[in-house]
Amino acid sequence: MSARRAAYEVVRRTFEEGAYADRIFPAEADRARLDDRDRRLAMRLAYGTVQRVRTLDHAMETLASRPPGDLQPTLRAALRVGAYQLLFASGIPARAAVNETVELAKAVAGRHTSGLANAVLRRVADAGPGWVDGLPPALRHSYPDWVAQEWEAMLGEAGAVALMAAQNEPPELSVRVNTLRPGPLDLGVPAHGDPELPEALVLDGPFDVAASRQLAEGAIWPQSRGSMLPARLLAPEPGMRVLDLCSAPGGKAGQLAALMEDRGRLVCVERHPGRAAALERTLAGQGVTCAEVTVADALEFRAGWFDRILLDPPCSGLGVLAGRPDARWRRTLEAAQEVAALQRRMLDHARGLLAPGGRLVYSVCTIRRDEGEGVVPGGRQTLPHRDGTDGFYVAVA
């Protein structure tokens, strides 16, 4: 199976089956038995197509008079992958993109679709990447209108456009070095650190973290620099009672334990039993012994007083769209408004668990005023286009 076919499968399953692109890609790439080069190409095509689908569908409808909703699902997915190559994938010749996509369409949708596929793709190829530049910002960068409007109100037009562009690029590849597993660490790729985050290592070359020996041994954990800021701001000390109120999947919990030097009591709350079990395995793999995982709803947890509390509640996730290609299409303004109300309730509850003189840190992986400043004023907002990492809002509450 080719890289294009693997990308097609990810796109088809994402939009026709409701699958999560970042979760199914590894399985599709493995099934296709892609080498490292083709795997990178497949990821580029799959993620890019999913991210840019609004623009791609607009191109097919306006340039070729073919509304995607009128096409059979298999042909629609193939044409989306082809249109992405023609409009956004620099380095792929237009002729090759058209020919390869026509062959893909024949394979997945039937030989009778070749003429239609060729006609649509030729129209898109004739327009070329320059056609995209004349579109309104939300359509040009392929975001829901409500997201673009939120960012423009928050950052201004230029800032919103820069942010949209940044979150269409691959996110930085960074790992947290686990100080509970001391020893020499050589990942075999160029890397650099961050003076603000001694445990952070930003990789400057391709590296498969998920398949690495270092991850299996608990020496590293994939985590953005933005995601490492909350634990640093919380500043737990050895021997303290620390609460991680929405803990899974465990990146921040492992960092908290390391900052505590694995001494004290770290309570990790997770409401889903399966995720809680995975969290226990993650912490054990990182050599954490001071943590206990409690299966409970954060709003119902009332066990004891804590010197430090980290609240990282559910959010709209608008700061991590680069690594979650389909997330922008799963969010609605109404859902974002509802989750902001939940965040306020959770914060009020967390304050009731804080010991006198303790510290509570509120953290969300989003870029949205109502979920940041609107919940806890005076915090810090990281921005992908400015800071080079995920968008997080972090504040002492």
| Torsion sign over Cα 190, 195, 199, 200 | negative
Q: Determine how β-strand 291-295 pairs with β-strand 380-381.
A: unpaired
Distance CA 223, CA 291 (A): 19
Selecting among 246, 268, 290, 365, the annotated active-site residue is 365
- Assess contact for 201 and 175: CB atoms under 8 A: yes
- Assess contact for 365 and 320: CB atoms under 8 A: yes
Distance CA 256, CA 228 (A): 10
Residue labelled with tokens 């409500």: 146
User: Tokens representing 35?
Assistant: 């080498």
SS3 (DSSP) at 38: helix
DSSP for 198-252 reads EEEEEESS---STT-HHHHTTSEEE--HHHHHHHHHH---TT-EEEESS-TT-HH
Omega before residue 249 within 30° of 0, cis = yes
**Is 365 a known active-site residue?**
yes
User: Tokens representing 291?
Assistant: 């943590």
* Active site residue ranges: 365
